[in-house]
Amino acid sequence: MNGAPRVSVIVPTWNGRTLLSECVEALRASIGPSFEVIVVDDASTDDTWEWLGRQTEPWLRRVRNSVNSGFARSMNAGFRAARGQWLVALNNDTRVRPEFLAELVRAAETGFDMAAPRVLLQARPELDSAGIIPLRDGGSIERGRDRPVAAPEYLGPAEVFGPSASACLYSRRLIEATGGFDEDFHAYFEDVDLAWRARHAGFRCTYWPAAIVEHHHSATWGRLSDRKLFLLERNRLWTLWKNYPFQWVAAEPFYRFVVAASTISGTSFGPEVEMGLKTMGMAHLGTVVLRADAAAWMGFGKMWRKRQQILGSTKLSKREVARWLG
């Protein structure tokens, strides 16, 4: 490859060689002369590293973590190794369409520093993500999740709060300004937290439906596990404490009560909680949440110090926060 690439694609992976080989094979048709792919192996114990060593493509590079350190740290290692102006985060359980990378760059060049593609579920003809929607309790949902692929409201570009890190684009200047993902998060909500910090720093995100990628949702961690639910709950609180105006932080116990009441009554709950209730039961699910809350509070001081830095120089008005939180 002659000269520095314009676009760097970072693919973190852990014990997923089969998924990774499918991901890289799909990227071949999307790669141009000014692109590179950096695979960050998070101390896999399968044959991932050896397989990477056998690949001869000049656009494919490999980085290895000495110990398993999580998605956020792996992505940051890829960002540091990257040479491109545009940095594309891509899960190893994705398959991009040929036009994916070119369309993401086209989206960014319309004046945005984050771009969210149209992420389709591999298993069925439905959307996985069309950007993320932040919630009042620090959580988030995927915009368009489980809607038909051809749903008209997701066929045109639109400004969205931020992208899902399963597949998205960031500008180098955004990563340099924000420091990238918060490595304390390990995995989950690191993209929501980064979207908040990017918004506080004045950056914006576009949804670009012409950039299409298929995602095998939760292929690495599975749809449900104690560890996943633990990280989701702990990191939700950390996202809230770091990034939300104080009135939203103070209101979190109220929202928690509403969610708990609706869950107990069975009137309203999300897919993760629903699956948790079916497979774990209320008592076990509650135990996991309590452990996560305890861990979150142990990190409260660190998160509050980060909050002071973030909100001390924010460019995000309270009106803008209210707009995104609905």
CATH number, position 69: 3.90.550.10
Domain boundary among 179, 194, 215: 215
For residue 65, which amino acid is it?
N
Residue 29 CB neighbours (<10 A)? 12
Domain boundary among 157, 188, 215: 215
Q: What is the mean pLDDT of residues 286-315?
A: 96
Residue 139 and residue 25 share a domain: yes
Using CA atoms, how far apart are residues 261 and 138, in angstroms rounded to an integer?
A: 18
Residue 167 and residue 148 share a domain: yes
The total of structural domains in the chain comes to 2
Q: What is the mean pLDDT of residues 87-92?
A: 98
Using CA atoms, how far apart are residues 142 and 166, in angstroms rounded to an integer?
A: 11
Residue 114 and residue 46 share a domain: yes
Residue 78 belongs to a domain: yes
| Percent of the chain predicted with pLDDT > 90 | 80
Residue 119 and residue 67 share a domain: yes
Residue 319 belongs to a domain: no
What pLDDT score was predicted for residue 260?
A: 67
Using CA atoms, how far apart are residues 269 and 284, in angstroms rounded to an integer?
A: 17
Residue 50 and residue 192 share a domain: yes
Residue 1 belongs to a domain: no
In this prediction the pTM is 0.92
Q: Which of 281, 285, 279, 290 is nearest to 222 (CA)?
A: 279
Residue 325 belongs to a domain: no
Residue 184 and residue 92 share a domain: yes
DSSP letter assigned to residue 184: G
Residue 232 and residue 191 share a domain: no
Q: Say yes or no to pLDDT of 225 above 90.
A: no
- Give DSSP secondary structure letters for 65-121: -SS---HHHHHHHHHHH---SEEEEE-TTEEE-TTHHHHHHHHHTTT-SEEEEEEEE
Residue 237 belongs to a domain: yes
Residue 200 and residue 250 share a domain: no
Q: What is the mean pLDDT of residues 39-47?
A: 96
Boundaries of domain holding 153: 7-215
Structure tokens at 40: 């960050």
* Averaged pLDDT of the chain: 91
Q: What is the mean pLDDT of residues 76-85?
A: 97
Model confidence pLDDT, tens digit, residues 153-190? 999 999 999 999 999 999 999 999 999 999 999 999 99
More confident residue, 258 or 218: 258
Domain boundary among 161, 191, 215: 215
Residue 323 belongs to a domain: no
